[in-house]
Chain A
């Protein structure tokens, strides 16, 4: 690295003070780059996804009805993201999922507004409470909560873009975020399947 670089052609007309400032800035950037740039040999071909590293992935097969497979992604802070697992029967229908409707049970889940740090006005759900219904190939499937707790958020993007369930049900196509009631998680944890167990059960790759 040339510490005292000669001013290049373009900078000859700039007064000397400014020119020095520029070189110092460039030097700083080069030093910083050196610290920032990784050694390509240390980089994996495919790094783990954020969903894998930040969440513990659990699955439930045939929840209340055959073929109703759902996932529960639990974050280290206790929050659970609920969605359709890969082998959910709705995702295998011809044409995939076409409509998602949150107006089930007693209220439209997409209307709820949870506010504040304590999330006091969130609806309390049982594990079998309905979150939404999805339509695929003329059939209707109900997606349920799986974990008893407060409903913090539903993915209302699914209303306008139901296709998210077909393209990425395990990420952008998530259905809802639940805050489990104190002590609930430990009760149901053992009844859930791990990623490997689910893959094996359904014979997936």
Chain B
């Protein structure tokens, strides 16, 4: 800093701050205790962004003091603020994930560069962001200690009012204020409040040594409180002394302690730290959804990944055939496959296809029309035509509810290849096609009885149509439209009489099903 005073930009900031600041002797006291300039601004109730984003530091404040009162003072520079531990001075040691190398940060610029570097490397495509900050509870303890110190020392003075202690921004909010502006400029996108943007930048601060001290103090507090209250809670939650308390429980203890009690256990005012905070930066996008309809052409492909005793059942799974392709193009961390119902491994899904959703976790991009086309091409033009997709599009999170809502209500159409123990007659055809909205009572089929409740479920067969198979007398194609949840195979062969009526019972002979195909699943949202 030159002797001609702080830079013009900082000058405006100081001018803005002045009316809020406490008297000079108080500022002096705060500075010598080890409070950084931004914490001083915070405690004074300053909310103006410019005051925090300007490159002011403690020496500017000292100069300002000297100008005001011509007090010459010698200060050792503050390394790490006794309240915020350097967080608001943008000084910390940052790593991208646990185990990675630490990098020292000492300015907002460094910080912003580090974050935008990370985003670029991962290849995130963003149109906004929300900052998520987590600070160690020791900061709350430090702040309380400092406030108590001020109160004890100055509460009799005229300038002092409760406003000084209560109406001010938290460290978290100041940090967001401080960083959002620079990040916005650097990333060229808007910041969004309260995690409303789908892209989150999470900053997790920790300060090992002071947190340790706080831990033991807190455990001490809690145990003595228990002793005070009496032996009412014996052995309920005895934690080993080396187990760490969660942040929430620490905050709870701090809430419960009275000021007097607090002063006996914690250092008032708090001591300056001699090491900076550690910071982990993590970027994350909330899940995106890709909807569509799938067709299954193979009778040897299960719907979801099916592995028993390390062996896969069937050749592949719809879930993987579609999910892997989506994951590859979106470059996500993982995926979840949801569909409107399912079919057996040996049943084909034809016609318009079955609606599905692929939820992509932490996708790096927001797929465009061309990228979605590419996903569809990769699946539809693969060598083995096991599965096909259509109507692929990016949808919002509401799609999940739309799918679940429709599932139980919607009707499904099937085509079954049926054999009966005697030749089919015209009367049979009339008989079956004339039945509309037929009630069928189905006991839980034996093939799923081992894992489902033994119940009798009432289902409706809306209509049936017969198509002859030329060259045979005892085979026919049965087209039917049924309520969701109807077991078709059991409706044909009767499941030892546990599904009633069945094709066999209606026609008065034995009926067997050889093949089943799903021909339509009606759901408008996915068209």
Contacts and interface: CB of A to CB of B under 8 A. Distances in A.
A11 B415 CA distance: 28
Contact of B477 (A28, A37, A153): A37
Contact of B449 (A36, A76, A115, A152): A152
Contacts of A77: 447-451
B475 A164 contact: no
B353 to A, nearest CB: 12
B367 interface: no
Contacts of A51: 496
Interface string A141-161: 000000000001101010000
Interface string B500-519: 00000000001011110101
A172 interface: yes
A78 B450 contact: yes
Interface string B465-494: 001011110010100000000000100011
Nearest to B489: A50
Contacts of B449: 77, 79, 152, 177
A50 B493 contact: yes
- Residue among A32, A50, A54 facing the most chain B CB atoms (10 A cut-off): A50
Contact of A115 (B350, B351, B448, B453): B453
A32 B519 contact: yes
Interface string A169-205: 0011010010100000000000000000000000000
Contacts of A114: 454
A5 interface: no
B23 interface: no
Contacts of B517: 35-36
B491 to A, nearest CB: 12
Contacts of A43: 419, 469, 472, 475, 514
B470 A40 contact: yes
A119 B446 contact: no
Interface in B266-300: none
B452 interface: yes
Interface in A79-96: 79, 81
Interface in A97-139: 114-117, 119
A184 to B, nearest CB: 15
B98 to A, nearest CB: 40
A117 B451 contact: yes
Contacts of A54: 446-447
Interface residues of A, number: 38
A80 B489 CA distance: 20
Contact of A36 (B448, B471, B477): B477
Interface string B442-464: 01001111111110000000000
Nearest to B468: A37
Given A32-B519, A152-B449, A164-B497, A47 B454 contact: no
B288 to A, nearest CB: 32
Given A40-B475, A114-B454, A177-B446, A157 B350 contact: no
Nearest to B514: A47
B446 A47 contact: no
Nearest to A33: B467
A67 to B, nearest CB: 24
A109 to B, nearest CB: 14
A2 interface: no
Given A77-B450, A117-B451, A50 B513 contact: yes
B417 interface: yes
A79 B497 contact: no
A114 B446 CA distance: 14
Contacts of A46: 419
A38 interface: yes
B340 to A, nearest CB: 20
Given A49-B512, A75-B447, A38 B469 contact: yes
B350 A32 contact: yes
A76 B447 CA distance: 8
A33 B497 CA distance: 30
A54 B446 CA distance: 10
Contacts of A33: 467, 477
- Residue among B351, B449, B510 facing the most chain A CB atoms (10 A cut-off): B449
Contacts of B514: 43, 47
A51 B497 CA distance: 12
B496 A174 contact: yes
A157 B415 contact: no
Nearest to A39: B471
Contact of A171 (B443, B452, B497): B497
B443 to A, nearest CB: 8
Contact of A49 (B417, B448, B477, B510): B510
Given A47-B512, A81-B496, A171-B494, 14 more contacts: A35-B517, A36-B417, A36-B517, A38-B469, A38-B475, A40-B469, A43-B475, A50-B513, A54-B446, A77-B447, A115-B454, A153-B454, A171-B496, A171-B497
Closest 8 pairs between A and B when the two form their complex, measured CB to CB: A40-B471, A172-B497, A77-B450, A50-B493, A36-B415, A40-B472, A47-B419, A174-B496
Interface of A: 28, 32-33, 35-38, 40-41, 43, 46-51, 54, 75-79, 81, 114-117, 119, 152-153, 155, 157, 164, 171-172, 174, 177, 179
12 contacts: A33-B467, A36-B517, A40-B475, A43-B419, A43-B475, A47-B512, A50-B493, A51-B496, A77-B451, A117-B451, A155-B496, A172-B494
